[in-house]
Structure 1
Amino acid sequence: MAAIGNWQASPVQALSQAESRLQAGRQAGCPGRSWRPSPGKLDRVSGVLALASIGALRARRANKVALAAARPQGVLQPEWAAALRSGKAPRSSGDGSIGPGSGPLRFDLIGGPSEGESELMLYLSDIDFTGTVPAVQFPSLVDSFELWRCTLPAEDRKTGFAELARAVEEWLRQQVAEGRRVVLVGDGFGGLLALAVALQLGRALKGLVLVNPATGLVQKPWQSLGALPVKPLAELLQGAPAVGGQASFEHGLGDLIVKAATSAAGFRSAALAARSGTLDFRLRAWLRDGWEAVSCDLRRPASRTSLPATLLTFSKEDALLPSSSEAGELRGLLSERCLTGRLQVKELESRSHEPLASDIDFAKIVKESPIFAYKDPVTGYEFPSLEELEEGSQSVERIASVVSPVFCSFDPSSPSLRSFGLAGVPTPAEAGDRPVLLVGNHQIGGLDLGPLVREFLVTRGVVARGLAYPGAMRRMTTDQGPSQFQTFGAVPVSPRNIFKLLQQGEMVLLFPGGVREALHGPGEAYKLFWPSKTDFVRVAARFDALVVPFAGVGADDNVQVLANSRELRSKAEELLPFMARSQPKSGGLMPVSESLEAGMSVPFMAPPLSLATQSSPGIGDRFYFSFGKPVDLKDVSPKDKSACKKAYASIRKAVEQELEWLQQARLEDPFRDLLRRQLFERVASIEPSMRRIPEGPLEGQVVRTYANRAPSFPVEDLPPPQTDSVSDEDEE
């Protein structure tokens, strides 16, 4: 939809002097037409709108200076260069039409770089479908892209949404088949059309850019355009220049114009309705039918409707439609279909529904988006700065201040073979630049992840790169940059990512039970739900990795799992057999997370009825982690299935032994009691809350958001974990 409250001005056409208001309206008009407002009902509106000529004059002059200084290297087509000089939109040449099958739809080349290969950018405009609104952006866009627009005759009342989408998809498929890298841009209604086409083409496109898309999730655009006084407004707006530009009114006058224009539903929509009489048709056959078609595609599984790298932009204060809320609703649907890190949602400082008609640097925004500036989460990872570590540590401390985590690791000199701290866990540097794979159980809700990763960063100066469920990674992504998951090294679990991490010699954190353990059902606390296959051992053996088995307890005791969605559905299917249906496989995940193949199950949880004590679980139960003796896979051949199977069984058995040892050891911890521990940590402890990093890239730096903890069990007085040999039954 078009901007309201923003007067459209030519980007380079300057006025030599401020003529009378009516004469300014005539000069801006289309050839052969005169601006004759009807008497009576137009007097007030014409008076308000005529005041805009002063601001429009200033905007034209400013735009002229900006474009003169830019000196673009791209080359505009002659008709577009003339249009920018005259302020009149060029007629569609139709040179890019794909033939009779496209009907009246035309594809016009606007311009492109003078030298070398470039990506192709197709611009799909708003409900006017002229492709002229963002003309002020064209000189900078043709520096980097071969820029095309899609147009339709203004009087067309036959071409529906399905025909539009089919023609655009066919044209783009032809470009992709010729080896072109295509970026599809949709503005307003064009955003809805672009999304429909992108859902069909998927990642055959290089990128998708949506600008204030009229997808109708929050408010259907046609619902806000009820009974329009389009005829009188159109008579006023017939004098609007066809080529873009925007006068900004932010100092009083703008508010008046915005309110006046808002009540009349919009700038371009009203002009379109009066000039060609097609607004009602386009609201029905384009917007309404388009959203119904797109919503059907969005109801399909995300795995069947993938999207390329996507940039979703919206105006901060859109005066026409709630674009900010729309983007918020749309973000979740897009993130499910984009690869992790390939969706960016960007807020534009604009009050217009047509932000591209302003002086924003749209070309730069696109170039800095994940479409072009994407970093591989494995090879492109950068160690967090001290500021980022402090921010993440502060978030973890909210949990740690309640659960006071305790860490133990293998120590051959201790009677219990364990000592406090992580000194017994070798880092890749200590292992001779070999990868280190930490393998353990996952606790409810993944609450164990934050304290684990922070402890390695602060006490060992190394990042434990977590392999996370892709859905969690997408939900944790933020608009302003990488999430804390990504900042602290997590990557989506996949065969490629675990291979690349181990290949790089990283420390990798793996929970073979995946979300099946993190979202377990009632009575399943501290049980392993590992896959039957040994693939992670085979991959680790390929790179001579050290595997460190570990266990964690405490998180599962802070909640009561009453039921899970899988059990409830199973019971419902027994009573109502028609509810039974096959669960779609998640696909794309390696066997380390094969438990996902049975479908996601969400636990229904409640807090315990009592506080934690030394002998019984409850609210505030303490977290305990223990890392066992490393398993060296240097002498294990990844092709030897029997050796890999034995190593796998040994690692799993070691994790189970660590679980048993921790559950017994915590009974000897007097500070497992929540009230006693909180009293000690908050009152008796007067030491400052800080920790100095002993090694790594941040060696010597001080983390000030790491509080002191209460003592724990007498680790040296405890018996060591059992070291039963692996039986043949365990290897089955």
Structure 2
Amino acid sequence: MAATGFHMLSAVGGLRNGGKQKHSLGVALPPARRRFSVSVTAFSSEQRSAKSFWDYLEAARDFIRPEDNSPSRWFSPLESKARCDRAPLLLFLPGIDGNGLGLIRQHEKLGQMFDIWCLHIPPSNRTAFHDLVAMVETTVKSETQRSPGKPIYLVGESLGACIALAVAACIPETDLVLILSNPATSFGNSSLQHLAPLLQLLPDQLDLAFPSVLSFIPGGPLKRMIAHWVRGLPENETAANIYQDLVTTSTFTSILADTFRRETLVWKLKLLDAAALFANAHLHLVKAQTLILSSGNDQILPSTGEGKRLRKKLTKCEVRSFNDNGHCLFLEDGIDLVSIIKATSFYRRGSHQDYISDYIPPTLSEFNKCYGVNRLLEVIMGPVFLSTTEDGKVVRGLGGIPSEGPVLLVGNHMLLASDKISLPGQFVHERNINLRPLVHPMMFTRLRDGLLPDVSVYDTLRMMGSVPISATHLHNLLSAKSHILLFPGGIREALHQYKLMWPEKAEFVRAAAKFGARIVPFCGVGEDDFLKVVVDYNDQIKFPIVKEVLKRVTAEGPEVRGSVEGEEGNQDFHMPGVIPKWPGRYYYYFGKVIETGEDELGDRDRAKEVYLGVKKEVERCIEFVKQRREEDPYRPLLPRLHYHLQHGLRTQVPTFPF
């Protein structure tokens, strides 16, 4: 066969020197495309042309030899090592197909962040489950010795997920990160467990294995064929698409026939049974950080319930659900493993998470996906952005914000933290600046399950660069010359309207002064035009039962400001009772930039003076906007909608004179 970009490795590994060392084991695949480096701007680089399901079929057809019973081995789908500095190793562990190509649609983007090895198990290979676990374990130990201090990622689907769990249980002290798609630990509760005895009873002339498997694959060519009928495309285009999918289905069926001959499928089912039994028996030993990806339309395994079960069994486990997807999750349209890893904060290059150096900005498509759901809200809110230039002039937009960091934007928290909807997107669109908001740690972790919403609801904020608030993270962001969004009032302020609840200490001023950062005071005004608070925290705690519930809810998340006395230190979680109002308009006003330096760093009194000055400027901004918005003819929603109808949705609606 012709030489290709997929390099075969030994059973333990051996791809070094930028991928130039090859092992000729007689297996060839189509050449892998080159990767691209990560940009340092608001968006990371993005490859426009993604591989398709047809690319998977083409690669699998060249890769699979039904009579091949050679040993299991690793191969690399990349032409060179990952471009990202200190990139960790990612080992892909396949499902019962065994070909190792399950991530083929993800290789290009994963190649920015990882060195990737994939496990190939030939169709006629009869390696026992314990031997597969031992092989992966040996590779993990070897690579850990080669690159100490870096985690090793085990990405497994179905059977591969069981292998990953077994390896993690066997070497619990090794730094592993598990990403498991539809784990086969649920095999005992699936209809597959009854398939092996049935196949053994069938006559030799009748082989129904691969049609059965084919019918289990939602998201494959058959699903796309049905989708063409409802897309409303022209008849010629619909017919052409369906014809292409018929060809794809034929190829898919042929590949399944080669992969799952009856005796092979019987063996694979027994292998799944052994894998599920071993993995389930050793779940209590798994200490690795784990992410479960569960498909809601998995016709092979009961994956939705299994994700919930594993979430309770594993000590460091999160679950993400994909309600409309099938068993072969990574091969389906719209599934981007890199985006999932970014949004769940599961990417790290060292032994501990570094939210600054490990952060990779979203691509343009990731940004649009994150904020596309906010476009209607943006129209309803009609946000106005004002900033102050160096000469003190107030201008429309963000022209007064310094381009070069470090910059610390300090303001009041709007009710229910609604400022998170417009601010990050506006900074990206207008200035190509990726804000790094300092947020409550409850958006990243839970101490226990309870009434708080699942951390998955904050995936968008993590994707866009949110960081758990702490003195260390503020220091590191300033050191990285970032644009940082800080709300000193925290949760308590976010549950009030226009009342600053800042602590007494001026620590953020001294931290900014250490790096010569510029502080930009700002305000957000307008939530009172959308919501009216009728039941506050003080009203709720008058009832002992409610007060006890609020304490329990607060205990579910990490503590913030535990040493701060009084109202400013009160960070209890609660939901104020609100009544919706006819929509008005949001306003953001950024005041004059405040310089910091040695004076504030060495003199606590001077730092305190600057701190109070920042707070006073925020209060001034609030009062300025609250007064001037009365002169805004487009403050109500209907005049703005009328203006948009006349001039288009993308047109900037006027506001009050300034």
TM value normalised by structure 1: 0.53
1:591-610 counterparts in 2 under 5 A?
Answer: 601-608=573-580
Contact 1:427 1:462 survives alignment (8 Å): no
1:576-587 counterparts in 2 under 5 A?
Answer: 583=555, 586=558
Aligned partners of 2:297 and 2:203: how far apart in 1? 25
Structure-2 residue corresponding to 1:87:
67
TM-superposed deviation, 1:440: 0.5
Does 2:161 align with 1:191?
A: yes
Does 2:647 align with 1:688?
A: yes
Contact 1:185 1:209 survives alignment (8 Å): yes
Q: Name which of 505, 508, 522 aligns with 1:536.
A: 508
TM-superposed deviation, 1:588: 9.7
Go from structure 1 to structure 2 and tell me whether the alpha carbon gap of 1:406 and 1:112 turns closer, same or farther (over 3 Å shift): closer
Aligned partners of 2:337 and 2:299: how far apart in 1? 22
Does 2:347 align with 1:402?
A: no
- The amino acid across from 2:606 in the alignment is A
Go from structure 1 to structure 2 and tell me whether the alpha carbon gap of 1:591 and 1:164 turns closer, same or farther (over 3 Å shift): farther
Aligned partners of 1:168 and 1:390: how far apart in 2? 38
- The amino acid across from 2:144 in the alignment is V
Aligned partners of 2:5 and 2:136: how far apart in 1? 32
- The amino acid across from 2:401 in the alignment is T
Contact 1:548 1:629 survives alignment (8 Å): yes
Contact 1:442 1:511 survives alignment (8 Å): yes
SS at match of 1:541: helix
Structure-2 residue corresponding to 1:694:
none
Aligned partners of 1:464 and 1:576: how far apart in 2? 34
Go from structure 1 to structure 2 and tell me whether the alpha carbon gap of 1:254 and 1:548 turns closer, same or farther (over 3 Å shift): closer
SS at match of 1:509: strand
1:275-294 counterparts in 2 under 5 A?
Answer: 285-286=277-278, 289=281, 293=283
Structure-1 residue corresponding to 2:484:
508
Contact 1:348 1:355 survives alignment (8 Å): no
1:452-601 counterparts in 2 under 5 A?
Answer: 452-453=423-424, 464-469=435-440, 472=443, 475=456, 483=460, 486=463, 493=469, 495=471, 498-518=474-494, 520=495, 524-561=496-533, 562=535, 567=540, 571-572=544-545, 583=555, 586=558, 601=573
1:22-61 counterparts in 2 under 5 A?
Answer: none
TM-superposed deviation, 1:230: 0.7
Question: Once the two structures are superposed, what CA deviation does each residue of 1:568-619 show, in whole Å capped at 9, x if it has no partner?
Answer: 6982287899x96992662799999x999977614154433xxxxxxxxx43
- The amino acid across from 2:647 in the alignment is P
Go from structure 1 to structure 2 and tell me whether the alpha carbon gap of 1:565 and 1:319 turns closer, same or farther (over 3 Å shift): farther
TM-superposed deviation, 1:546: 2.3
Structure-2 residue corresponding to 1:103:
none
Does 2:4 align with 1:70?
A: yes
Q: Name which of 77, 93, 98 aligns with 1:133.
A: 98
Contact 2:196 2:266 survives alignment (8 Å): no
Aligned partners of 1:551 and 1:345: how far apart in 2? 37
TM-superposed deviation, 1:441: 0.5
- The amino acid across from 1:320 in the alignment is I
SS at match of 1:603: coil
Q: How many residues align?
A: 537
1:610-621 counterparts in 2 under 5 A?
Answer: 618-621=581-584
- The amino acid across from 1:681 in the alignment is R
Does 2:301 align with 1:321?
A: yes
SS at match of 2:500: coil
Aligned partners of 2:297 and 2:634: how far apart in 1? 52
1:242-261 counterparts in 2 under 5 A?
Answer: 251=246
Does 2:586 align with 1:644?
A: no
Go from structure 1 to structure 2 and tell me whether the alpha carbon gap of 1:598 and 1:138 turns closer, same or farther (over 3 Å shift): closer
Question: Once the two structures are superposed, what CA deviation does each residue of 1:646-691 show, in whole Å capped at 9, x if it has no partner?
Answer: 322322233234334444444x4364773xx52x3344677634xx
Structure-2 residue corresponding to 1:625:
588
Go from structure 1 to structure 2 and tell me whether the alpha carbon gap of 1:326 and 1:267 turns closer, same or farther (over 3 Å shift): farther
TM-superposed deviation, 1:705: 1.8
Does 2:198 align with 1:222?
A: no
Contact 1:312 1:344 survives alignment (8 Å): yes
**What stretches of structure 2 of length at least 5 have no aligned partner?**
12-22, 28-62, 83-87, 208-212, 215-219, 223-245, 445-454
Go from structure 1 to structure 2 and tell me whether the alpha carbon gap of 1:155 and 1:633 turns closer, same or farther (over 3 Å shift): closer
Contact 1:311 1:366 survives alignment (8 Å): no
Provide the aligned C-alpha RMSD in A.
6.7
1:198-213 counterparts in 2 under 5 A?
Answer: 198=168, 205=175, 207-213=177-183
Contact 1:319 1:353 survives alignment (8 Å): no
TM-superposed deviation, 1:708: 1.5
TM-superposed deviation, 1:499: 3.6
Aligned partners of 2:542 and 2:337: how far apart in 1? 46
Contact 2:390 2:593 survives alignment (8 Å): no
Question: Once the two structures are superposed, what CA deviation does each residue of 1:686-720 show, in whole Å capped at 9, x if it has no partner?
Answer: 7634xxxxxxxxxxxxxx724413x43x65xxxxx
Between 399-408 and 642-651, report the one with greater CA deviation: 399-408
Give aligned-pair identity as a percent: 23
TM-superposed deviation, 1:498: 3.7
TM-superposed deviation, 1:552: 1.9
Aligned partners of 2:103 and 2:278: how far apart in 1? 26
Structure-2 residue corresponding to 1:47:
none
Structure-2 residue corresponding to 1:442:
413
SS at match of 2:401: coil
Q: Name which of 708, 711, 722 aligns with 2:653.
A: 708
TM value normalised by structure 2: 0.58
Contact 1:269 1:279 survives alignment (8 Å): no
Aligned partners of 1:451 and 1:470: how far apart in 2? 21
Question: Once the two structures are superposed, what CA deviation does each residue of 1:110-133 show, in whole Å capped at 9, x if it has no partner?
Answer: 6899x9999877676768xxxx83
Contact 2:387 2:591 survives alignment (8 Å): yes
TM-superposed deviation, 1:233: 3.1
TM-superposed deviation, 1:538: 1.6
- The amino acid across from 2:640 in the alignment is E
SS at match of 2:502: coil
Structure-1 residue corresponding to 2:451:
none
Aligned partners of 1:68 and 1:633: how far apart in 2? 63
SS at match of 2:601: coil
Aligned partners of 2:434 and 2:5: how far apart in 1? 47
TM-superposed deviation, 1:645: 2.7
- The amino acid across from 2:484 in the alignment is V
Question: Once the two structures are superposed, what CA deviation does each residue of 1:408-433 show, in whole Å capped at 9, x if it has no partner?
Answer: 555899xxx8856357x73325xxx5
Structure-2 residue corresponding to 1:428:
402
**What stretches of structure 1 of length at least 5 have no aligned partner?**
1-66, 92-107, 241-245, 298-304, 609-617, 690-703, 716-732
Question: Once the two structures are superposed, what CA deviation does each residue of 1:464-494 show, in whole Å capped at 9, x if it has no partner?
Answer: 554445665874677xxxx58756x655545
Aligned partners of 1:393 and 1:79: how far apart in 2? 47
TM-superposed deviation, 1:439: 0.7
Go from structure 1 to structure 2 and tell me whether the alpha carbon gap of 1:504 and 1:655 turns closer, same or farther (over 3 Å shift): same
- The amino acid across from 1:572 in the alignment is I
Contact 1:442 1:517 survives alignment (8 Å): yes
Structure-1 residue corresponding to 2:144:
176
Structure-2 residue corresponding to 1:271:
266
TM-superposed deviation, 1:447: 1.9
Go from structure 1 to structure 2 and tell me whether the alpha carbon gap of 1:573 and 1:628 turns closer, same or farther (over 3 Å shift): closer
Question: Once the two structures are superposed, what CA deviation does each residue of 1:271-292 show, in whole Å capped at 9, x if it has no partner?
Answer: 2499x7x987776x446656xx
Structure-1 residue corresponding to 2:631:
669
Contact 1:238 1:271 survives alignment (8 Å): no
